Amino acid sequence: MTEVWGSSRGHRPDGVRASGEEETRRQTPGTPCWTSLLVHDLEATQEFYGELFGWTYYSPGPRQLGPYVRATIEGHDVAGLGELPPDRKLSNSWTTYLASDDADASAEWIRCSGGTVGVGPLAAEDAGRLVLAADPAGAPFGVWQGQKLMGPQLTGVPGTPVWHELVTHDASVVVKFYRALFEYEMKPMDEVDSDSLMLHLDGRPVAAVRGVGTRLRHPHWMTHFEVADADAAAKRVVALGGRVVGAPEDTAAGRIVTVADPGGALFTLRRSAR
């Protein structure tokens, strides 16, 4: 199980600290709104992603779940990094958080629908409420009910999350859980891959679900980070102690390559199509 920061069953803890203007904004329930990673060596992880993406960090508190920092670009929060206790033997994994109007109701629905709740609902001081859960196939995800936001989201900037995709055994099965929780509209991703679906909210795609069969060991949500050059960024990952998991490929969305950081956490580098 990984960590959470970020229909009334189904908001974003990021913000622009430099703006100094606080505002409240509602996101449609089910919208990916935050991504974070729990690790055993927070200092080394900060150094890796700082070198790769140019992230700088600050510690926002609270620390109910242990030491935690937010990564920023140009004064905007883009992701979170937290440190696991030494005795916790969890695998490193980037976790996607989905917006909710009511984290407590979401948690109860998850429990009653074949998922599990590992943490929460938990108040993150006055920033919102959070839940750490897993879907029926075992993929960890977060639920975030945000109360405070500051400024607009960064888009298209290297080093920022640009897309989220659930990689699971059977998309057609697990997608029923998410559709009932957040009322997504499902559409086929393409004609070639029959077990890949796009999740739509308010008439726009917000995430995807890809079924890859039983060869997958651990279903998981994959975060795609924007980069200026996917091939060059992959080489940089290797130089910093990570590894390339799959060969770079061109897709309709842009050029992508899946990599792992030195701790084994998978993520995707993406040069979005222009």
Which of 135, 213, 212, 208 lies closest to 174 in space, CA to CA? 135
Q: What is the pLDDT of residues 113-129, one digit of tens each?
A: 999 998 889 887 667 88
* Percent of residues, the chain, with pLDDT higher than 90: 61
CA distance 178 to 50: 33
The structure's pTM equals: 0.87
CA distance 63 to 145: 18
- Per-residue pLDDT, 3: 38
Which of 52-61, 89-98, 148-157 has the highest average model confidence (pLDDT)?
52-61
Alpha-carbon torsion (41, 92, 257, 53), positive or negative: negative
How far out from the chain centre does Cα 257 lie?
Answer: 17
Residue 204, pLDDT > 60, answer yes
Q: Are 142 and 34 in contact (CB under 8 A)?
A: yes
Which of 263, 166, 258, 150 lies closest to 212 in space, CA to CA? 166
Distance between start and end Cα atoms, the chain: 36
Give 132's contacts (C-beta < 8 A, 6+ positions apart): 1, 2, 3, 4, 95, 117, 118, 119, 120, 140, 142
- Per-residue pLDDT, 92: 76
Give 29's contacts (C-beta < 8 A, 6+ positions apart): 7, 8, 9, 10, 98, 99, 100, 101, 182, 183
Out of 25-34, 141-150, 248-257, 260-269, pick the least confident: 141-150
- Per-residue pLDDT, 138: 93
CA-based R_g, the chain, Å:
17
* Percent of residues, the chain, with pLDDT higher than 70: 83
Is the model more confident about 273 or about 257?
257
Secondary structure (DSSP) of 15-68: BBTTT---B-----TT-EEEEEEEES-HHHHHHHHHHHH--EEE-----TTSSE
Residue 90, CA atoms < 13 Å, CB-side half-sphere: 20
CA distance 31 to 27: 7
Range 252-259 average pLDDT: 94
Q: What is the pLDDT of residues 169-196, one digit of tens each?
A: 999 889 999 999 999 999 988 756 668 8
- Per-residue pLDDT, 146: 83
pLDDT category of residue 248 using cuts at 50, 70 and 90: very high
